[in-house]
Amino acid sequence: MGDVIRFPRPSVRTVHATEPAPLWREAVGRELREERTGQDRTLSDVAGVAGVSTQYLSEVERGRKEPSSEVIEAVGGALGLSLVDLTARVTRRLQATSLRGPLALAA
């Protein structure tokens, strides 16, 4: 009939059994917190500008809540970050984590 075409196998990534890969919400929260503290701003200040509660923003920064794209955009905007810029930062952080291992998230 015809030739069998083999599909390439996906590359195998080393998985660290002791620490799971960081979640998107954790990486987003860490980026937001680093930007906020780098600007020497309070949770209350940024939450007020973004239109969210201080408690909710705190939970987002700690990776406890899965914020909608609207909330991420509002908080990022309150910090002077576009959604594209914030997403690019988070993507770079996650790429660095996958290349260097789970501890890269804390770097």
Residues with Cβ within 8 Å of 73's Cβ and at least 6 positions away in sequence, in order, are: 83
pLDDT at 75: 97
CATH code of the domain covering residue 80: 1.10.260.40
pLDDT at 95: 85
Q: Is residue 66 part of a domain?
A: yes
Q: Is residue 68 part of a domain?
A: yes
Mean per-residue pLDDT for 75-95? 94
Would you give the DSSP letter of residue 105? Answer: G
Q: Is residue 48 part of a domain?
A: yes
**Counted domains in the chain:** 1
**Rounded-to-integer distance, Cα 96 and Cα 104, Å:** 6
Q: Is residue 107 part of a domain?
A: no
Confidence (pTM):
0.74
pLDDT tens digit sequence for 5-63: 776 776 555 544 456 777 899 999 999 999 999 999 999 999 999 999 999 999 999 99
**Rounded-to-integer distance, Cα 87 and Cα 38, Å:** 18
**Rounded-to-integer distance, Cα 57 and Cα 61, Å:** 6
Q: Is residue 88 part of a domain?
A: yes
